[in-house]
Structure 1
Amino acid sequence: MTEDTVSILGVPFSKLTLEETTLYLAEQIRKERSGLFHLITANPEITLASQTDELLREIIHSADLVVPDGIGIVLAAKRQGDPIPERVTGYDLLLRLLEKGNEQGWSFDFLGTDEQTSMQAVEKISYKYPQVKIAGRHHGFFDAEEELQIITEIQRCGPDVLILAMGAPYSDKWLNRHKAELAGVKLVFGVGGSLDVISGKVKPAPAVWKKLNLEWAHRLLFAPVAKGQKSRWRRQAALPKFVYRTMIRR
């Protein structure tokens, strides 16, 4: 964990900008490590969930870096008088690392989302970033036997970056269970629905929505919800609680 952090409801958020985070992670990929580097992209919903989910709280505190994936985190830090310069979303970070990976010839493995979305996303990544090595990919709907095969294959390939697209906090809990087995991977982090956007399944938020920090509203209104996931309207119900805990209650 970098020393320059701010605690929001006990979660130690990095104060690095997107560019600084990209460079910091590139350094972690280049250096020799005894184990993988675990990055968590945490939004207000995950931050609030960590208050009652002891395992999630432990995972967050054992992670190597937690970045602020949401304008609510930035506003809460400002309210505390210890500002964070900007959001660092999983989607933006993935694109930056793919750009770096294209320059450096890094290898990526993708685990999660449905088969069609996974295939289409990786095809588009291969086309746009031809120097990125695709170590492997697999959809996120697997049983125990398939899981063992997936882990064995990741161990065999030893990718520089493993991208998990199984939803939060499931992705981080899955990694927590298999962290020792995946020690040969250099960097691992969850990206939520980023592969849905890259594949074209979900349209990215227009620039004006991004400028107003309203990507969450765009997803809420227009992005489909995967089978088995909670309604986005139900998930957004956590936001008023987050606002109360961080900005109103003293």
Structure 2
Amino acid sequence: MRGAIEAAWRQDTVDVLGVRVSRADAPALTRLMAAAIQAGERLTVTFANPDYVLKAAKDPELRDMINGFDLVLADGWGVVMASRIFGRPVPQRMANDDLTDELFGVPTDERWGVHLFGNAPGVADAAADNLRRWYPGLRITGTQHGHWAGPDGRIPADVAEQLVKEINAARPDILHVGLGTPLQQRFVTEYRDRLEVPVIFTCGAYFEHLAERRSYYPRWVLKLRVGFLYRLAREPRRLWRRYTIELGTYVWRVLAYRIRNGRQR
């Protein structure tokens, strides 16, 4: 399975400021998930948005961790736009919020077990309650909050070992890890060979969205592609810098990268 992934999807990418973003679409993702689960092999999936791309450009360790995943999906129109500017467009935006049916509807039909690990205490539980209501019959093997990091920003080794044991004991087919970047990428990178789970996703604050409602972004926001403005309006104090100064920096760097390197082939 890993050979098939590396031969096809790991090569079909677009370089977005050093991050290799996969050009897979939702049906391809579903096929890869099914193949990994049926074969008992490993598929790791993370996401790239403008904020993550800028962080990776400044932090080679984070860049290498992100690029070490089997798939890096385009989270946000800023990455979709960059792929078009670079001449290798991704088929669609592939954020967690865009893939809820693939991440939970398909597992309901296939009877795959899903495990929710991350976000503040109680959030994964609330998300699980909603998911069971939206997808009757969905098998959720367990939930666990993600507030385990010590003063150094890392999960202590003994705590991580216990978390891995609990996840393995639940025997999920799909694990969602919502610890924020770079902690979630580091956790998956360090423990993926110990996690007995075929498919592993990172998901940031996705459980917070699921705990609130089925479609986090209103349709008009998605139609106009202004999700960043919607989030900024909801959390201005926390996100103002990301969606003003840093987003402007991202756009400038994308254009400079295109001028310097030309179209990708």
What is the TM-score when the length of structure 1 is the normalising length? Answer: 0.88
- Alpha-carbon spacing, 1:146–1:10, altered in 2? closer, same or farther (3 Å): closer
Root mean square deviation, CA, Å = 2.1
User: Which of 23, 28, 36 matches 2:31?
Assistant: 23
**Residues 173-184 of structure 1: pairs in structure 2 closer than 5 A:** 173-182=186-195, 184=196
- Equivalent residue runs for 1:1-250 within 5 Å: 1=6, 2=9, 3-33=11-41, 36-142=42-148, 144=156, 146-182=159-195, 184-200=196-212, 204-223=216-235, 231-236=238-243, 237-248=245-256, 250=259
Separation (CA, whole Å) in 2 of partners of 1:240 and 1:70 = 15
CA distance in 2, matches of 1:26, 1:69: 22
Greater displacement, 86-95 / 65-74: 86-95
**1:28-80 deviation line (CA, Å, top 9, x unaligned):** 222231xx321011111111111121211111221101111111111111112
Aligned to 2:263: none
Q: Does the 8 A contact of 1:22 with 1:93 survive in 2?
A: no
1:69-121, CA deviations, whole angstroms, 9 ceiling, x for partnerless residues? 11111111111222222111122224322011000000111111122222111
Structure 1 residues 223 and 122, CA, compared in 2 at 3 Å: closer, same or farther? farther
C-alpha deviation, 1:164, in angstroms = 1.1
The Cα of 1:157 is off from its aligned counterpart by: 2.0
Structure 1, unaligned runs of 5 or more:
226-230
Q: Distance in 2 between matches of 1:49 and 1:12?
A: 14
* Distance apart, 1:17 and its partner CA: 2.0
Counterpart residue identity of residue 22, structure 2: S
What code does the residue aligned with 2:197 have? V
Q: Distance in 1 between matches of 2:38 and 2:68?
A: 22
Structure 2: how far apart are the matches of 1:171 and 1:138?
Answer: 14
Say whether the 8 Å CA contact 2:174–2:198 is kept in structure 1: yes
Deviations 1:110-141, CA, capped at 9 Å, x for gaps: 11112222211111112222332211111111
The count of residues paired between Structure 1 and Structure 2 equals 242
Task: For residue 241 of structure 2, give the secondary structure of its aligned residue in structure 1.
Answer: helix
TM-score by length of 2: 0.83
Distance in 2 of aligned mates of 1:114 and 1:232: 18
Contact residue 97 and residue 215 of structure 2 kept, 8 A: no
| Contiguous gaps of at least 5 residues in structure 2 | 1-5, 150-155, 260-265
Tell me, in whole angstroms, the C-alpha distance in 1 between the residues paired with 2:59 and 2:171: 31
Secondary structure at the counterpart of residue 240 of structure 2:
helix
Q: Name which of structure 1's ranges 196-205 and 41-50 shifts more when overlaid on structure 2.
A: 196-205
Pair 1:223–1:187, CA change in 2 (3 A): farther
Which deviations, in whole Å up to 9, do the C-alpha atoms of 1:163-212 show, x marking residues without a partner?
Answer: 01122232111222222221x11111111222112111797221011111
Q: 1:200 to 1:185 in 2, by over 3 A?
A: same
